[in-house]
Amino acid sequence: MRRIIGFSLIGVGMFLVAAGVFVRFYVAPTLIGAPTDIYQVTRLQADNASYLDASSLTVRTGATVSVTNTVRGDVEASGDDVAVYDTGTIIQDAQRGNTIEIQNARYPFDRRTGELRNCCGAAVQGDTNARMDGIGLFWPVEVRKDGLELFDTGTLRAWPVTFAGEERVDGLLTYRFVQRIPATKVAGETPALPARLFGRPEGDPAVEADRYYQAEATYWIDPRTGAAIDQRRHLVTTLRPKEGPGSLVIADLNLRMTPEAKKDLRAKSDEGAEQIRLLEAILPLAGVGAGLPAVVAGLILTFGEGRRPAQRGSRRARATAGR
């Protein structure tokens, strides 16, 4: 009976140990990654901003500009390795109610590394010819401190993001990254604008200009999950005449995430960190921690008792020989 119990304990113990190892080295890497059914709304706001009001061809200054970004996961287009997110961004003058710009993009990417893929209808502003590289909306789960490039929809290319140190955000230790995009000419036609906007005499002909975009962005990343829990972005868009002097700043936005958005992102990151901890530590350790004692107990019950009668018999034989 003891042997039966012993063998049973050995079997159960080995199963628990194997299950713990399986969860840690197979299940966890498979399951940990970007969700495919995400729905997330993030808001940023810029105070004392300036922009060109297209409806009146007037440069507005001292404005409060809000940026609302909505991300939806396309579950049907996603798979085990690739997630597909659709994003829509509305930039508005919060005081006047003017819509300054509407942006949209479709991001397919590796669910664990965040690397963008040119598949599944990837597009920027509906342009499926736009080629994506680097990372996009989703940072790597195991975020590294160097070698990262972040795709920018304004310039349609990836730019390096530099690790700028560790910093606590509301008590949480984060990695701070900075991306700097120099003034870069961007594609697209800009309608000719009145000469007065470029500081030229009123009677001069309308000015044709090229658009230049530059940005400096700071991201605070939770190293437990790779989730961005805060960001700040300073965006400047300028028109430069194709001929002659002058320039016109048509957008100068110093954007900061709203407290509500930060709180929501932190809560989601905390939830993700608990799920990762469950898969990478708690379940594997529980399996090994319960399995090893069961195996040891099973070995003792199975083989330890069988040696005792032999030892007693040996002692009796020696005693008889002595007499």
303 belongs to a structural domain: yes
In a shared domain, residues 135 and 39: yes
Give CA 295 to chain center in angstroms.
41
273 Cβ contact list (under 8 Å, min separation 6): 222, 224, 225
pTM across the whole model: 0.83
pLDDT digits (tens, 9 = 90+) for 116-171: 999 999 999 999 999 999 999 889 988 889 999 999 999 999 999 999 999 999 99
Looking at 226, 257, 288, which one is the last position of a domain? 257
| Residues in the chain, total | 323
pLDDT digits (tens, 9 = 90+) for 258-308: 999 999 999 999 998 888 888 777 877 887 788 778 767 767 777 775 544
In a shared domain, residues 198 and 303: no
In a shared domain, residues 226 and 288: no
Name the pLDDT band for 254 (thresholds 50, 70, 90).
Answer: very high
157 belongs to a structural domain: yes
- Classified as helix, coil or strand, 51 is strand
Mean of the per-residue pLDDT values of the chain = 87
Looking at 257, 288, 303, which one is the last position of a domain? 257
In a shared domain, residues 144 and 19: no
268 belongs to a structural domain: no
pLDDT digits (tens, 9 = 90+) for 187-212: 877 889 998 898 888 888 999 999 99
As given in the structure block, the two tokens for residue 85 are: 């997110």
As given in the structure block, the two tokens for residue 71 are: 């991300």
In a shared domain, residues 13 and 146: no
110 belongs to a structural domain: yes
271 belongs to a structural domain: no
In a shared domain, residues 131 and 155: yes
In a shared domain, residues 10 and 55: no
In a shared domain, residues 44 and 15: no
273 belongs to a structural domain: no
226 belongs to a structural domain: yes
pLDDT digits (tens, 9 = 90+) for 42-95: 999 999 999 999 888 899 999 999 999 999 999 999 998 999 999 999 999 999
In a shared domain, residues 210 and 311: no
In a shared domain, residues 197 and 299: no
For residue 154, what is the domain's CATH number?
2.30.230
Count of domains observed in the chain: 2
How far, in Å, CA of 26 to CA of 274, rounded?
18
In a shared domain, residues 53 and 17: no
17 belongs to a structural domain: yes
Domain span holding position 294: 2-24+278-322
What ranges make up the beta strands (E) of the chain? 39-53, 58-73, 82-93, 99-110, 123-124, 148-152, 157-169, 172-185, 209-222, 227-241, 248-257
In a shared domain, residues 251 and 305: no
